[in-house]
Structures are given as structure tokens and as C-alpha cells.
Amino acid sequence: MTSISVIRKDITSLTVDAIVNAANSGLRGGGGVDGAIHAGAGPGLMNECATIIEKNGLCATGSAVTTSAGDLPAKWIIHTVGPIWGEEGEERSSLLLSSCYKSALDAASNLRADSVAFSAISTGAYGFPKRLAAPIAVSAVCSWLEAHQRAEAPSSIFLVCFDEENFRITKAVLDRLGPNNTPLVRTEGQ
Ligand code: APR
């Protein structure tokens, strides 16, 4: 069984296999969680990101790529590029946000990561409304879990909220899902 938990923490402090960064298409670093992750990981991360961009070109919105985590306690960073709110219609933006979570879980599965912590993709500088983003995040994770074998899935998934509002909204979404509502998902707030 995979547990999905919402926690209010700085994602850079977490000792998990993989943390999921809210990156930009050029993996150039930035502010918000991206800035915190680059600051914590050290300058080697920017070199790894530049190598990926040189090789593959810009990262598409909704896709995910993996780097090491440098000086952070995590083992890997999965960088995903969320949609910028207002650039596309709501339906397309929602699909792209869902794709971020699913692509990141694909990457985590390829890494055999057993614990994965997501930042709240697109809900900061990219302006995706938090009350819309939280249910998309939860349902993307649940549908990914339902579509994959237990052996391919991490045991623990953390939805990491930095701000109180995101924490409250995300916890309410998980609470609505109910404990043991599917055989794959256990919910817990913190
Ligand atoms: N740990 C966990 N979450 C954090 C942290 C942190 N240390 N710092 C910020 N956050 C949260 C914010 O509260 C927000 O809810 O991350 C969420 C995502 O916000 P942003 O980091 O602004 O990411 P996003 O909206 O996807 O915008 C991405 O911003 O920093 C740039 O390079 C990045 O261009 C990209 C854009």
C-alpha cells in the first residue's frame, strides 16, 4: 500500500529518495522552491541541469527530468515544469498539471524511489489557484497508483506544502478522499 501524506515542511529538509522541484523549461533555477533546492543542492546542480538542456533542449510543460540532489539529504531531484496559469485554458492547464505529477511518478518509478516528496507545482510564481491545484495533484497521484503495479510504486508519497493555505486545502482534499477509500491509498494529515 502506498501512503499519501500532506506535510507542512521545507522540501529541502526532507530525507526521502526523491523530491520534486517546480522548475522552469530551461532548468535555469529561479525563486520559490526551485531557488531553495538549488541553494541547498549546491552549484553542481546547475551544471547537471545545463547538461540536460544542452542534450535534450527545453523541457516541455508537464514533463519531468532527474538529477542528483547534490548536498541535499534526498538522493534525487525530479524537476517538472508546471503550467503557467492564464497561458492556456483551464482544462488544458489542469491536464498539464496532472501530467507533471504523473511524469514525476514515472521518473520516480524508473529510479526505484521508495519515498517521493512533491512540492505544490505551479501554485507560486506560476499562479495556478491552490484550490484547483490540490484536487488535481491528489487525483493525478491516485490515478497513477491505480494504473501501476505495487512493485513499481513508491511506498510513501508526500505532498509538501510550504504555506498554511496550501496545507489546509490539500489536507481537506485528502480528508475527503477518506481513509482506505481505495486499497492503494492511505491518507494522513500532519
Ligand atoms: N519547500 C516546499 N515548498 C516551497 C518552498 C520550499 N522550500 N518554497 C516555496 N514553496 C512552495 C510555494 O509556497 C508554492 O506553493 O512551492 C510552491 C510552488 O511555488 P513556486 O516555487 O513559485 O513554483 P511555481 O509556481 O511552479 O513556479 C515556477 O518559479 O522559481 C521559479 O524557476 C521557477 O520559473 C519557475 C517558477
Q: Mind listing the pLDDT tens digit for each residue in 90-147?
A: 999 999 999 999 999 999 999 999 999 999 999 999 999 999 999 999 999 999 999 9
Share of the chain above pLDDT 90, in %: 91
Which residue has its alpha carbon closest to ligand 1 atom 31? 30
* Residue 177: band (very low, low, confident or very high) from pLDDT cuts 50, 70, 90: confident
Rounded to the nearest angstrom, the distance between the alpha carbon of 149 and the centre of ligand 1 is 31
34 in active site:
yes
Rounded to the nearest angstrom, the distance between the alpha carbon of 183 and the centre of ligand 1 is 32
* Residue 183: band (very low, low, confident or very high) from pLDDT cuts 50, 70, 90: very low
- Write down the pTM of the prediction: 0.96
pLDDT of residue 180: 58
Cell numbers placing 2 = 502506498
Cell numbers placing 58 = 527545453
User: What are the Cα distances from residue 90, in Å, to 83, 103, 106, 135?
Assistant: 10, 20, 24, 14
Atom of ligand 1 nearest to the CA of 35: 30
Q: How is the beta sheet containing 115-119 ordered, strand by strand?
A: 64-68, 76-81, 18-23, 115-119, 156-161, 2-8, 185-188
Which residue has its alpha carbon closest to ligand 1 atom 20? 124
